[in-house]
Amino acid sequence: MAKEAITPRAEDPARWYTDVVLGAELADYSPVKGCMVIRPHGYALWELLRDELDRRIRATGHRNAYFPLFIPQSFLAREAEHVEGFAKECAIVTHTRLRAVKDGDGVRVEPDPESRLEEPLVVRPTSETIMYSMFAKWIQSYRDLPLLLNQWANIVRWEMRTRLFLRTTEFLWQEGHTAHATSQEAEEEVRRMLGVYREVAEEVMALPVLVGRKTEAQKFAGALHTYCLETMTLDRKALQAGTSHHLGQNFARAFGVKFQDAAGQEQLVWQTSWGVSTRLVGALVMGHSDDDGLVLPPRLAPVQVAVVPIWKGDAERTRICEAAHAAGRELREAGLRVEVDDRDALRPGFKYHEWELKGVPVRLELGPRDLEKGQVVAVRRDDARKLPIPRPALARGVRELLDDIQGALYRRALAFRQDHTRSIDGWDEFAAFHDDPGGFARSPFCGGRACEEAIQEATRATVRVIEFDRPEEPGRCVRCGGAAEGRVVFARAY
RNA sequence: CGGGGCGUGGCGCAGCCUGGUUUAGCGCGCUUGCAUGGGGUGCAAGAGGUCGGGAGUUCGAAUCUCCCCGCCCCGACCA
């Protein structure tokens, strides 16, 4: 029977996650600590996700641009909170040349002292500073506003502890940066883009998310306030899936991003920034996969359908493979991403496991018996159910199946989150909850920073989100008993 | 940065405590051939290792000692 390729989630969620990512060939460890190689299957997934996001970012009026990887060190220092937030995780370029030095029998290289830079360059941990230095140059008049830019880029944050996709030293992301004439316009922008993220998360990734505001302690360094999406992983932790910041005029002041309004008055712009990253791929794995490997929502699966021909002997092989390729062509013409697995020397069972490991939503089995009956046997990745589809209705049948799986994955994830979300008012129950079942605790919170720290100290849980749609519900803070306006969501987080 | 674990063919490990019958072995994978083919296929033949690095102890080191390096996991920090 089956060889155990993957550590069961119940046994060790951390290893399970790593096993799924490596086994599905999404990524691999790189020679550089904390960095990863995104393999073709993982990159294809990212590209599909990127396209979904990019389309919506453009549709909301933004244009793509590209700013440099390197930022003058002094730029980071211009906005006080921002420095504090990022100083501890920056990679710095100090030299521009290597030189070869004889070392015993061999040669080693070292930075050439002659090439030391006068001002070191920081490898961008995010691009606010370099972008806004340019905004200051481009924006003169209220007629130049709003400025709506987006950039697809890699960034580097020197994290102490990394995990494939969820937190890597270098990662890929999209960062939107906008400038507006009024605070209200900026606020609308911040919420609009959060809505875009929510739509992609829920409709494309089939991941239900909570949306709302971050506390002072959790917001972006340099922002007025931060909005976010939080999703629940299958080990019941919270994972921040996207953020959208109202930057106010903090950076405008620091970089002199000013415009003349219609009345001829000079004013500082109001700015926003928002981003999602390759972490979303991790969220996807953490949100749907099982002990057999990756489970992908059809809308993002690089391979939506794997056709596995089943034959006995050479004569049959030709016939069956022909039929399998014909089915594959038909599905491709219907706009689906299809792989026909006609590899010889591998038995069907092996292929089943392999495609399951890679998360392919639908597998089609086509053997002599099916050919006879004029059908194809479809097998769903999400619940392993098999159902025959009459050959003439193939494309329509598969499409419907994919749509059904997309919906089922969302509902399953939503039910999981609901099952592990609890309203908790008392401290003892609250403290125990995060240890034992774990999940999201909706609890009254006073909003105090010290209180939040004390809670984290005691339970390792933090405020993940103050939901937009929370009911007004005066109560007593779960920790200090002080006045609380309503409940916030607490959880341990990635 | 603290705690734990681990470095032995591509991957996973055994051997180490008690140094020498080890020419360093096993499973998986890989190559070739034949058979097989509706849930991880069988047989046969092969390729592949300076035992993480350095120094030391010893007649002799994968095995003992010291130093260094790297990786994974768990915490503090973070998208």
- Whether the predicted interface score ipTM is above 0.95: no
Q: In this structure, are A217 and A278 located in the same domain?
A: yes
pLDDT at res. A111: 82
Among A256, A288, A320, where does a domain finish? A288
Q: In this structure, are A144 and A268 located in the same domain?
A: yes
pLDDT, tens digit, for every residue of A62-93?
999 999 999 999 998 898 888 888 888 888 88
Q: Which nucleotide is nearest to A371 (CA to C1')?
A: B38
pLDDT at res. A103: 65
Q: How far is CA A81 from the centre of its chain?
A: 25
Residue A298 belongs to some domain of the structure: no
Q: In this structure, are A411 and A441 located in the same domain?
A: no
Q: In this structure, are A38 and A139 located in the same domain?
A: yes
Q: Which nucleotide is nearest to A292 (CA to C1')?
A: B40
Taking the CA of residue A103 and the C1' sugar atom of nucleotide B57, their distance in angstroms comes to 29
pLDDT at res. A437: 87
Q: How far apart are CA A162 and CA A172, in angstroms?
A: 15
Taking the CA of residue A345 and the C1' sugar atom of nucleotide B33, their distance in angstroms comes to 13
Q: Which residues of chain A have pLDDT under 50?
A: 1-3
Q: In this structure, are A176 and A256 located in the same domain?
A: yes
CATH number (domain holding residue A251) = 3.30.930.10
Mean pLDDT estimate for chain A: 92
Residue A171 belongs to some domain of the structure: yes
Residue A109 belongs to some domain of the structure: no
Among A392, A417, A442, where does a domain finish? A417
CATH number (domain holding residue A386) = 3.40.50.800
Q: In this structure, are A277 and A410 located in the same domain?
A: no
Taking the CA of residue A341 and the C1' sugar atom of nucleotide B39, their distance in angstroms comes to 15
Q: In this structure, are A262 and A356 located in the same domain?
A: no
Q: In this structure, are A348 and A466 located in the same domain?
A: no
Residue nearest to nucleotide B1 (CA to C1'): A160
pLDDT, tens digit, for every residue of A412-468?
999 999 999 999 999 999 999 998 888 999 999 999 988 998 898 888 899 999 999
**Nucleotides of B strand lying within 7 Å of any protein CB atom:** 1, 34-41, 70-79
Q: How far apart are CA A20 and CA A284, in angstroms?
A: 11
CATH number (domain holding residue A484) = 3.30.110.30
pLDDT at res. A402: 98
Residues 6+ apart with CB under 8 A from A113: A95
Q: Which nucleotide is nearest to A30 (CA to C1')?
A: B71
pTM of the model: 0.95
Residue A340: give the domain boundaries: 305-417
Residue A117 belongs to some domain of the structure: no
Residue A119 belongs to some domain of the structure: no
Give the count of domains, chain A.
3
Q: In this structure, are A171 and A310 located in the same domain?
A: no
Taking the CA of residue A30 and the C1' sugar atom of nucleotide B9, their distance in angstroms comes to 21
Residue A3 belongs to some domain of the structure: no
Residue A217: CB atoms within 10 Å: 14
Question: Given the DSSP bridges, would you call strands A70-72 and A116-123 parallel, antiparallel or unpaired?
Answer: antiparallel
Alpha-helical segments (H) within A87-144? 128-138
pLDDT at res. A32: 77
Residue A85 belongs to some domain of the structure: no
What's chain A's Rg over C-alpha atoms? 26
DSSP three-state, residue A96 = coil
Q: In this structure, are A268 and A390 located in the same domain?
A: no
pLDDT at res. A2: 38
Taking the CA of residue A467 and the C1' sugar atom of nucleotide B77, their distance in angstroms comes to 25
Q: Which nucleotide is nearest to A368 (CA to C1')?
A: B38
Taking the CA of residue A402 and the C1' sugar atom of nucleotide B52, their distance in angstroms comes to 48
Q: In this structure, are A443 and A380 located in the same domain?
A: no
Residue A209 belongs to some domain of the structure: yes
Among A393, A417, A441, where does a domain finish? A417
Taking the CA of residue A29 and the C1' sugar atom of nucleotide B70, their distance in angstroms comes to 13
Q: Which nucleotide is nearest to A125 (CA to C1')?
A: B79
pLDDT, tens digit, for every residue of A273-293?
999 999 999 999 999 999 999
What does DSSP assign to residue A104?
T
Taking the CA of residue A57 and the C1' sugar atom of nucleotide B77, their distance in angstroms comes to 31
pLDDT at res. A87: 84
Q: Which nucleotide is nearest to A88 (CA to C1')?
A: B77
Of A173, A177, A243, A189, the C-alpha closest to A211 is A243
Q: In this structure, are A413 and A426 located in the same domain?
A: no
Tokens of A198: 């929510």
